Amino acid sequence: MKNAIVVVVVVVFTIFYFQKDDDYTPIIPNIKQRTLVGGETTMFESGFFAFDNPAPNLGARNLELHLAGDAQFGAAFVTSPAPINSGSGPQFNNTSCIRCHPKDGRTAFPDNINDVSGFFLRTSLPGTDDCNGPKPVPGFGMQLQNQANYGVEPEVQFGVTYQDIPVTFADGTIVTLRKPTYYIADSYIPFPSNAMLSPRLGPPVFGLGLLEAITEHDILSREDINDADGDGISGKANYVCDPVSGTTKLGRFGWKANTPSVMVQNAGALHNDMGVTNPLFPVESSFGQTNGDNLSDDPEEDQKFLDNTNIYLLTLAVPAARNLDDPKVTRGFYLFRDAQCTACHTPKQVTGNYPGIPAISNQTFFPYTDMLLHDMGEGLADGRPDFLADGNEWKTRPLWGIGLTDIVNGHTDFLHDGRARNVEEAILWHGGESEKSKQFYVNLNKEDREALLAFVNAI
């Protein structure tokens, strides 16, 4: 009997000890906590309205303010003067927040680049302004408006050409990337030849409150500007002008972390995207032939509008992760880690105490971003500095909810200008500090590539 027990133990030990890694996939650690991507703000919704929900832990007063802001976020502005939602233009890119962030998600790249859409071009001249930020282009400012009110000429019309770039995987599979080059096709006055252009698409807006509530200390603790640990990753914080306080603050939002808060990001979009003046930006953004609308009605929106939309954006729920117990997703989790994607796409963050909004205070959540700038290589470079961000640097985008984009928004256009037509293409555009991670992915076999993509689309 004793000998039989020994044999069984040896056989079991042999099976587990000598089992190949390919035959055994461990579970994702802390899977229950990781499913609650937004902590207590998480919503178990994976359908058409996955991004468009108030955080379930909101108190009655903040829920009331959230719903008021929801209505304003969807409001379409019209030409002044008008009794409701007045102030659009004279030049603009779009007429409402929701049209740039449909269903609070990601806008698609337009079929016609000059259609009204969530796409626009930033611009500036070499050098900096008095606040160490981008230097405006005379007659155009820092954002180019390709739409205008009736009887007014748009500042510009956009143009784009494409170059095919084939990428070959180690197994011989070929994927063709599409590299865009943007230009000014027409302008109301000559456009300076040395003006820089940087494309933008409207990103998702859920979970912003959690990102704003991460303490500055925690964000800065991940900086490694000189790559002291030698891992090839050198995250850097941006510091920007804050029109609320009149001081320099840590940049958190925008594709280059060029705004310090949701309030400033929202007020800036109202001003530049829609041409609506407000308490933070009370002078018309139009640099075109009208020099404003000459109606003397600025600011066209009040602080209450900004406050309500701010609460709305701070308190949107985050959709839960899905299928984290699926073996394929689990395999992808470990491949994502082994590729060192987590060096920039930091999985876990913790918020501090956020005054007035207990729902986003003291939360553990999983956005997959370090909130820092990274050199993404020449392939993604726009060549346009933005405060401390140079022409190669972009802020790490959160990955939460990315797999729901097609369900909610009906497309899979990713990166700052939508050049990536799916998650895989987005990975293949990585360079610079993330070159090694990209090469890790390129060298995977098809099964492992699919597993890594399954994980990214699950979070």
C-beta neighbour count of 113 within 10 angstroms: 18
* Chain mean position to CA 301: 26
Q: Which residues contact 361 (CB under 8 A, 6 or more apart)?
A: 213, 351, 352, 353, 354
Q: What is the pLDDT of residues 391-444, one digit of tens each?
A: 999 999 999 999 999 999 999 999 999 999 999 999 999 999 999 999 999 999
- d(Cα 255, Cα 252) in Å, to the nearest integer? 9
The burial class, CB within 10 Å (0-12 / 13-18 / 19+), for 259 is buried
> What three-state secondary structure class fits 38?
coil
Count of C-beta atoms within a 10 Å radius of residue 424: 20
Average per-residue pLDDT for the chain: 93
Displacement of CA 265 from its chain's centroid (Å) = 12
Q: 154 to each of 93, 270, 302, how far by Cα in Å? A: 9, 17, 26
CA distance 167 to 435: 13
Instruction: Say what the pLDDT of residue 19 is.
Output: 37
pLDDT at 15: 36
264-267 contact pairs (CB < 8 A, 24+): 266/97, 266/306, 266/309, 266/310, 266/313, 267/243, 267/306
- Interstrand relation of 147-148 and 196-201 (parallel, antiparallel or unpaired): unpaired
Per-residue pLDDT of the chain (459 residues; tens, 9 = 90+): 444 444 433 433 333 333 344 445 689 999 999 999 999 999 999 999 999 999 999 999 999 999 999 999 999 999 999 999 999 999 999 999 999 999 999 999 999 999 999 999 999 999 999 999 999 999 999 999 999 999 999 999 999 999 999 999 999 999 999 999 999 999 999 999 999 999 999 999 999 999 999 999 999 999 999 999 999 999 999 999 999 999 999 999 999 999 999 999 999 999 999 999 999 999 998 766 555 677 888 999 999 999 999 999 999 999 999 999 999 999 999 999 999 999 999 999 999 999 999 999 999 999 999 999 999 999 999 999 999 999 999 999 999 999 999 999 999 999 999 999 999 999 999 999 999 999 999 999 999 999 999 999 999
Domain boundaries, the chain: 22-458
pTM over 0.85: yes
